[in-house]
Amino acid sequence: MRASRATSVFASVPLALLCLDCFGQTSTPPFRSTCQNVGVATQEPLGDREGHMLSVGSYSCVSQGGFLDGAVTSGMNVWELDKGAGVAVTGNGVTRKPGQLILYVVTDGSYSLTMADGKVTGFTGIAKGVYKLATGPAAALSGKAYTARFRSIERGQFVIETTVD
């Protein structure tokens, strides 16, 4: 996978971050979502130095397991990229399932490219955020913080595992 393709894939990540362990129980495993980019993330050089750019991307996710099983998330992220590493500038998304809706914002995040034999093979990272609004069975998430760990997987997709802080 070329660096530009990997960059556009993780440009969307955080954050699909909405993936969540709804009740924040430490005894349960993190909530998991499988995601993919929607369209192509735009990468705009900032012009101050080589490899420094802004990347804006949209993504879509499907949740697996727990009370959000089958929920669909749509979101967008803005990353500041510097020679293969990214820092979240902003991000947000909405998770929907009949009877419940969750709105989240990304407050912090970073990622890096993974390499093998001198070639980019994917990415991995972490993001933090806040659930701004939650309804239905997810209502208890409103105002709570979350931490999401993400990584690329096969076929241009990525996985996010999120826990409530």
| DSSP symbols for 47-81 | SSSTTEEEEEEEEEEEEESGGGTT-EEEEEEEEEE
What whole-number percentage of the chain has pLDDT above 90? 70
Please tell me the distance from the alpha carbon of residue 107 to that of residue 102, in angstroms, as a whole number.
16
* Confidence tier at 29 by pLDDT (50, 70, 90): low
**Domain assignment of residue 27, given as a range:** 3-164
Cβ–Cβ under 8 Å, residues 121 and 1? yes
Number of domains observed in the structure of the chain? 1
- Residue 39's contacts (CB-CB under 8 Å, 6 or more residues apart) are 57, 58
Q: How large is the average pLDDT for residues 25-32?
A: 59
Please tell me the distance from the alpha carbon of residue 12 to that of residue 43, in angstroms, as a whole number.
12
Q: What is the CATH number of the domain that holds 126?
A: 2.40.160.20
* Confidence tier at 81 by pLDDT (50, 70, 90): very high
Poorest-confidence range of 10-24, 60-74, 113-127, 136-150? 10-24
Cβ–Cβ under 8 Å, residues 133 and 142? yes
Residue 99 confidence (pLDDT) above 70: yes
Q: What is the pTM of this model?
A: 0.81
pLDDT at res. 66 = 82
